[in-house]
Chain A
Amino acid sequence: MDTSLIRARSRLYRNIREFFDSRGYLEVETPCLAASLIPEPTIKNFSTLYQSEYLGSREMYLVPSPEVFIKRLIARGCGNVYEICKCFRNAEQIGSLHNPEFSMLEYYTMDFDEKDSIALTQELLRETALPGCPDGLKQPFEVISMAQALNKATGLELEAIQSPKVIRQKAHELGVLDDPSVSEGWDDTFNRLFLNFVEPSLRTDVPVVLTGYPAQIECLAQNDGIVKRRWELYFGAVEIANCYLEETSPERVRESMRREFARMASERALTGEVIPDNDPEYWRIFRSFPRCSGVALGLDRLLMLQTGRQRIDDLILFGFSDIL
């Protein structure tokens, strides 16, 4: 381990805290252990057991992101907040861009829309840059909608491939799905197109923001017709941040959580994977939830890009492959 990299992380975190503190954001610290999570079928979870001689035992989960707690704080009116914390995703493949335990920065800004959150994130990258950070990372973001990027890369219209049958046929014609009659979710087929064509077509010399993710990829961002008001930030083909214009309708949150929990439970019942408890009352906090935008940014990846490294292992002390 190169000690300059340990110092780089410490310096980056200081810069981030200065950035948000000077803008009046409140730094918060939420638990790593939760009794229930927001169901996300594509994120596998770590579970552990709370054991008490008197209270009995209870399954607990390591948070895959601090969202579940931060949203409670926002509902209580805490205003603009940020958190730097550890997150845990099980079965996360160990590779140059993944470690099952990783560091995340989340920041939520009241009354912000996509344009505002993109501008803030652009300032964040520029103002927190470490000495020696590649110039490209400090450049203005190129903003492109997913529909435009898809069309540029494949010639397909997002609107025309909304049915699972049609998108599978198109993916088959483009050579990324062998059997178009296979039963797979629309989101999986879309990701075949996205990873094979769209992602490789993105510019790598400047940060790129993809806006308007398909609404059929479920998440707690607001809907806008066939897309979600969600954006993702890429640099050098590496995904660094994800942002939602947060869903504020209690009914839609309840519906989404119910659907996602059902999907997760049915998929995992077959594999025996951990099914984290769902809090059936969680949606109630959205009765007093302000309009806001929330960004989650992978700190190990940002640090990797800022220091010009190729693997997040280089930046993580005692990475998973070392401790297994």
Chain B
Amino acid sequence: MIKAGQIDKGTALLIKGQPFICIDREFVNPGKGSAFVRLKLKSPTTGQVLAETMKSQDNAEDITVTDEDFQYQYNDGEYFHFMNTETFEDVPVPMSSFPDYQFIMKEGETFRCTVYNEEILDIQVPSKVVYLVAEAEEAIKGDTVTGATKFVTTETGLRVRVPIFIKQGEKIRVNTETKEYLERVNN
């Protein structure tokens, strides 16, 4: 058991027998009231999202999860397919549970995953990842009004706003949470 106030993004909980991951947490103090916490919880197996507002002192049932390495293979439009690097077993994860991950994860890469009952509850993506620029718009000359930026698309299909000097075939580092360009990476 943990206190609701201790729940953070990524905390795994059991709610009515089903595992949920906290994906958002906001504290609220109603005027002249005790501390409460608003939680957004997601079931990675069904994609169901719950909004719960609990008193920070309420108890919640946390679950013990393990961190294991899985290799991301491919997606079939509905599921991401991961391979357990020890047992070589295929573990499908609904794509709807991780909406933009298809543009962030590179096929063949290994990710640390949060596992409960042999199911992947969470995929830990590094906060900064280097991508290859697969497509780059030509910069429009003289266009400095917009801060001299343009869009490029990475090998994973992620569209990123970058400075105009970035060319196709170059590598860039991107913040995977905000999807913002950080820097050019030299080979």
Give A contacts to B, CB under 8 Å. Answer: 40, 42, 91-98, 176, 178, 184, 187-188, 191-192, 194-196, 199, 213, 217-219, 232, 239, 242
Whether A192 contacts B53 in the complex (CB less than 8 A), given A95-B26, A95-B27, comes out as yes
A193 CA to B44 CA, complexed, in Å:
28
Q: How far is the CA of A242 from the CA of B29 in the complex (A)?
A: 13
- Chain A residues whose C-beta falls within 8 Å of the C-beta of B56 in the assembled complex: 93
Does B38 belong to the interface (CB within 8 Å)? yes
Contact yes or no, B34 A188, CB < 8 A: yes
Complex CA–CA separation, A188 to B31 (angstroms): 12
Per the bound structure, the CA–CA distance linking A91 and B29 in Å amounts to: 11
Decide: A93 and B35 in contact? CB cutoff 8 A. yes
Minimal beta-carbon separation of A131 from chain B (angstroms): 20
**How far apart are B57's CB and chain A's nearest CB, in angstroms?**
9
- The list of the 7 closest CB pairs from A to B, nearest first, reads A93-B27, A195-B53, A191-B33, A95-B27, A191-B30, A196-B53, A242-B31
Number of A-B contacts (CB under 8 A): 60
Q: Are B32 and A42 in contact (CB under 8 A)?
A: yes
Interface residues of B in 136-153 (CB under 8 A from A): none
B36 within 8 A of A: yes
10 more A-B contacts (CB under 8 A) besides A98-B29, A188-B33?
A: A42-B33, A97-B27, A98-B27, A176-B53, A192-B53, A194-B30, A195-B38, A196-B53, A213-B32, A217-B33
Query: Measured between alpha carbons, how far is A21 from B32 in the docked complex, in Å?
Result: 30
B55 interfacial by beta-carbon distance below 8 Å: yes
Chain B residues, Cβ within 8 Å of A184: 55
B28 within 8 A of A: yes
A217 near B32 with CB under 8 A, answer yes
- Contact in complex: A96, B26 (CB < 8 Å): yes
Give chain B nearest CB distance to A296 CB in angstroms: 9
Contacts of A219 in B (CB 8 A): 32
Nearest B residue to A175 via CB reads B52
| Chain B residues whose CB sits within 8 angstroms of the CB of A191 once the complex forms | 30, 33-34, 36, 55
Instruction: For A213, list chain B residues within 8 Å (CB).
Output: 31-32
- Interchain CB contact under 8 A, B30 and A92: no
Complex CA distance for A192 and B56, rounded to whole angstroms: 11
Interface residues of B in 5-51 (CB under 8 A from A): 5, 25-38
B53 to chain A, nearest CB (A): 4
- Chain B residues with CB under 8 Å of A95's CB are 25-27
Q: Provide the bound-state CA to CA distance between A91 and B26, in Å.
A: 14
